Amino acid sequence: MLDFRLYMAQRLTALIMAPLVLGHIAVMIYAIQGGLSSAEILGRTQGSLFWLLFYGLFVLAVSIHAAIGIRVIVHEWAGLKGAALSALTWATGLGLLAMGARAVWAVTAA
Amino acid sequence: MTTKAEVLEVSVWRGSADGGALETFEVPARESQTVLDVVSWIQQFADPTLTYRYACRVGMCGSCAMMVNGTPRWTCRTHVQKVAEGNSLRIEPLRNLPVIKDLAADMDPFFDKWVEAEAVHHPTGTRHDPIAHVDADSGARQAADAGIECINCAVCYAACDTVAGNADYLGPAALQRAWTLLNDTRDGGGASILDAVSGGGGCHNCHSMGSCTQYCPNELDPMSAIAGLKRETVRRVFRRRRDA
Ligand code: FES
């Protein structure tokens, strides 16, 4: 159910996420110092290739990582397997990716 | 808790693959009595149709494992005094395995997985070759030595919650044997072992919960052996890259 390929995908995405989580939290704390409006935040993120790549990569890593995690939990706790389990894995991954990508695009598109 | 009471209240699981229930027996309490003594007493003096399994009675053959008050144990070396709750014992067949009858679990899935994990010897020599030199001090040999005293009792397999949730998972005993063979210089199956433990039921399913290591009656550490397999499967990928 969790073969070597999925195991590596989950470990590698965890490696990518670790610094991004720290970066995300640091920016959150920094950004709200002295009260920052959403318009001001959008002013900095819109049209920024850096933030597009930062959060784009974050969303991609989260989608892969979470889909595999959910796959393991659902298999062990609910007994789902085979094609249904694969379908759920893909649906979770693609669903998270779609929602995340939409959010990233909303704040970074110029 | 001491069992000063004269009589033990023992509930024993009776049944077959189609189902069953607990049946209670009163067994005289004795000093230094083992759980296997209790089961044997019931079979000899209360109900000769009780089915269970044992052979050596000294913790070597691995055939007497059962669930005792919900915990997997080698019953021939488990003293009643240590595990009884008050004066009561609940004895059931090993968890995570099908039942044949009463306390005898069907060990086939357990041993089939040893073969599936390539936990079988892959010879590198013949009887005509000189006896292989084994360097007892090498790190690999010490890693192998740490796991070779497994008596195949399936206590770890019964204790493992990952086995309980994932029927395909090879389990701690098979994976530990795969690890000892991987570290044995006389075994030529390295690549096929790593392939076998990398599949859908392989070592990567382990959550490192550690029940195997906690309950192994021989105090082995299958959890670390499985961690070793995970490490080696990852290393192999990078080694291949470098060699390419
Ligand atoms: S009877 Fe052999 S290990 Fe218990």
Residue ranges and CATH numbers for the domains of chain B are 4-105 (3.10.20.30), 108-243 (1.10.1060.10)
**Contact partners, residue A103, CB within 8 Å, separation at least 6:** A55, A59
**pLDDT reported for residue A31:** 79
**Separation in Å, CA of A79 to nearest CA in chain B:** 7
For ligand 1, is residue B76 a contact (CB within 6 Å)? yes
**pLDDT reported for residue A91:** 98
Kindly write down the DSSP assignment for every residue of A17-72, as one continuous string. HHHHHHHHHHHHHHHHTT---HHHHHHHHTT-HHHHHHHHHHHHHHHHHHHHHHHH
Domains of chain A by start residue, with CATH:
2-108 (1.20.1300)
Considering only CB atoms, which chain B residues are within 8 Å of A74?
none
User: What CA–CA distances, in Å, run from B238 to B143, B172, B199, B242?
Assistant: 22, 26, 18, 6
Distance CA B145, CA B221 (A): 11
Q: Do A7 and B230 touch (CB under 8 A)?
A: yes
Q: Do B200 and A77 touch (CB under 8 A)?
A: no
pLDDT tens column, B73-102? 999 999 999 999 999 999 999 999 999 999
Contact between B193 and B132 under an 8 Å Cβ cutoff? The reply is no
Q: What is the mean pLDDT of residues B41-50?
A: 98
Contact between A66 and A92 under an 8 Å Cβ cutoff? The reply is yes
Q: In this model, does residue B243 exceed pLDDT 90? A: no
Which of A33-42, B29-38, B85-94, B108-117 bottoms out in mean pLDDT, i.e. has the lowest?
A: A33-42
Q: In this model, does residue B242 exceed pLDDT 80? A: no
**pLDDT reported for residue B162:** 97
pLDDT tens column, B96-119? 999 999 999 999 999 999 999 999
- From the list B33, B62, B54, the residue with the least C-alpha distance to B104 is B54
